[in-house]
């Protein structure tokens, strides 16, 4: 069985950041990635997806993302190009496509079962992210609806919805960005549980990240930093807001074969629903370790599992490092995590 000191499950931005620091520390590690090529979740972003921050502030450790050749913040394709070149630049040991199906304890190591054979490691870092586990609320009648339903994870372009009646459900950034480009081509309604909160026009991802760090550092009884809004006003969102396309309605109560029923009992015929309702941590491979709690998370201290001390988690959200699910946050989380791992693998036992 192929064995390494550290195996990272997942090949996205967190895995690359961690790989950079582990290579510098001369740690024996391997990255297992289920994707067919570089980019992690960015391979599945919709065509017009853009970052919230300038290229230089959306970089992994060691190498700044090059400035874009176009106006505005980097696009999905810019990020994919950067991540592809980053892998090559640092010659990171990545095996793909390899899908990890289970992680189990096997004596003093953890066994990683995959569709390409089994591996073993003294330390395992789960960095699978959330993209592969989209969340759609269990609305009564959802299974009866015969129109198109797609989660933002699988949304690509507005062209497929031209001249249709479309509901965009979800009040976050994905909902705002998708609504912004759906509205000009379709009869679209934006469905949110409450009025969406927009950040000031001059606030971007740099400010959001610093606020995430401040929230994580806030002590008991301290007022969390932030709270002025959660939608970043990137240019397409600003244009849609100025057109009046970002007004919202409250959620429907149930779905029918042909549409939805609103709280007042009125019915509406709908061609398609785009669910921008978020994701859950993709942790099914950790179920054999009995570490996944009822809320779908793993209890951690400094990214290390409390129940399984040879397991770490990174990149799932603030609970695994402030801003760790972002490009700019991955580097900071990875730096601290790599230091932990380097110290452990240098010792006599990963479990000590």
pTM score, two decimals?
Answer: 0.88
CATH fold match for the domains 2-132+279-345 and 142-196+231-275: yes
Looking at per-residue pLDDT, the higher value among 201 and 26 belongs to: 26
pLDDT at 217: 57
pLDDT of residue 129: 94
Residues 235-263, mean pLDDT to the nearest whole number: 95
Instruction: Convert the pLDDT of each residue in 194-227 to its tens digit.
Output: 999 888 877 766 666 566 556 555 555 555 544 4
Burial of 244 (0-12, 13-18, 19+ CB in 10 A): exposed
Q: Is pLDDT of 272 > 80?
A: yes
The confidence score (pLDDT) of residue 227 equals: 46
Mean pLDDT of 100-107: 97
CA distance 242 to 221: 39
Burial, 78: exposed, middle or buried (Cβ in 10 Å; 0-12, 13-18, 19+)? Answer: buried
Q: Do 58 and 80 touch, CB atoms closer than 8 A?
A: no
| C-alpha distance from residue 40 to each of 63, 85, 95, 314 (Å) | 18, 13, 13, 14
Q: Which residues pair with 155 in a beta bridge?
A: none
- Angstrom distance (rounded) from CA 94 to CA 23: 12
What integer is the mean pLDDT of 38-47? Answer: 91
- Per-residue model confidence (pLDDT) at position 228: 42
Determine whether domain 2-132+279-345 maps to CATH 3.30.230.10: no
Beta-bridge mates of residue 104: 111
Average pLDDT over residues 152-159: 94
Instruction: Tell me what pLDDT residue 222 has.
Output: 56
* Contact present, 350 and 123 (Cβ < 8 Å): yes
Name the helix (H) or strand (E) containing 101. Answer: strand 100-106
> 337 φ, ψ to 5°?
-65, -40
> Who has greater pLDDT, 74 or 10?
10
User: Do the Cβ atoms of 209 and 326 come closer than 8 Å?
Assistant: yes
3-state secondary structure 258-282: CEEECCCCCEEECCEEEECCCECCC
**CB distance 106 to 217 below 8 Å:** no
User: Does the structure show a pLDDT above 90 at 51?
Assistant: no
Give the pLDDT of residue 87: 96
Q: How confident is the model at residue 303 (pLDDT cuts 50, 70, 90)?
A: very high
Considering only 79-93, 174-188, 323-337, which range has the smallest mean pLDDT? 323-337
Q: Where are the domains of the chain?
A: 2-132+279-345, 142-196+231-275
Query: Is the pLDDT assigned to residue 118 strictly greater than 50?
Result: yes
Can you identify the CATH homologous superfamily of domain 142-196+231-275? FAD/NAD(P)-binding domain (3.50.50.60)
> How far is residue 297's CA from residue 274's CA, in Å, rounded to a whole number?
26
Would you place residue 260 in the very low, low, confident or very high pLDDT band (cuts 50, 70, 90)? Answer: very high
pLDDT digits (tens, 9 = 90+) for 304-352: 999 999 999 999 988 998 878 888 889 889 999 999 999 999 886 544 4
pLDDT reported for residue 205: 61
Give the per-residue pLDDT at 5.
98
135: left (phi over 0), alpha (psi -120 to 50) or beta: beta
Residue 176 is predicted with a pLDDT of 95
CB atoms within 10 A of CB 14: 33
**CA 344 vs CA 8, 349, 352: distances in Å:** 15, 7, 8
Q: How far apart are CA 46 and CA 236, in angstroms?
A: 14
């Amino acid at each position: 069985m192929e064995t390494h000191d550290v195996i990272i499950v997942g090949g996205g931005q967190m895995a690359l950041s961690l790989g950079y620091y582990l290579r510098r520390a001369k740690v024996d590690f391997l990255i297992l990635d289920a994707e067919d090529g570089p980019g992690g979740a960015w391979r599945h972003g919709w065509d017009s997806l853009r970052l919230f921050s300038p290229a230089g502030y959306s970089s992994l450790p060691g190498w700044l993302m090059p400035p874009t050749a176009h106006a505005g913040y980097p696009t999905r394709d810019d990020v994919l190009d950067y991540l592809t070149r980053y892998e090559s630049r640092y010659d990171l040991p990545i095996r793909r496509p390899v899908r990890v199906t289970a992680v189990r304890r096997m004596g003093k190591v953890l066994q990683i079962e995959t569709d390409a054979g089994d591996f073993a490691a003294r330390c395992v870092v789960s960095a699978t992210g959330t993209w592969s586990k989209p969340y759609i609320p269990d609305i009564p009648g959802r299974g009866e609806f015969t129109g198109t339903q797609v989660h933002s994870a699988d949304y690509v372009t507005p062209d497929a919805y031209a001249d249709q009646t479309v509901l965009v459900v979800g009040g976050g950034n994905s909902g705002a960005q998708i609504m912004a480009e759906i509205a000009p081509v379709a009869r679209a309604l934006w469905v949110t549980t409450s009025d969406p909160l927009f950040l000031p026009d001059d606030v971007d991802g740099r400010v959001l990240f610093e606020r995430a760090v401040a929230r994580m550092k806030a002590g008991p009884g301290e007022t969390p930093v932030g709270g002025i809004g959660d939608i970043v006003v990137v240019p397409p969102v600003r244009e849609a807001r100025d057109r009046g396309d970002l007004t919202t309605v409250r959620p429907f109560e149930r779905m029918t074969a042909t549409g939805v029923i609103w709280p007042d009992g009125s019915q509406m015929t709908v061609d398609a629903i785009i669910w921008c309702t978020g994701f859950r941590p993709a942790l099914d491979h950790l179920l054999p370790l009995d570490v996944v709690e009822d809320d779908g998370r793993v209890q951690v201290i400094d990214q290390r599992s409390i129940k399984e001390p040879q397991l770490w988690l990174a990149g799932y959200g603030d609970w695994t490092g402030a801003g760790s699910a972002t490009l700019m946050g991955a580097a900071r989380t990875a730096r601290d995590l790599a230091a932990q791992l380097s110290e452990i693998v240098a010792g006599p036992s990963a479990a000590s």
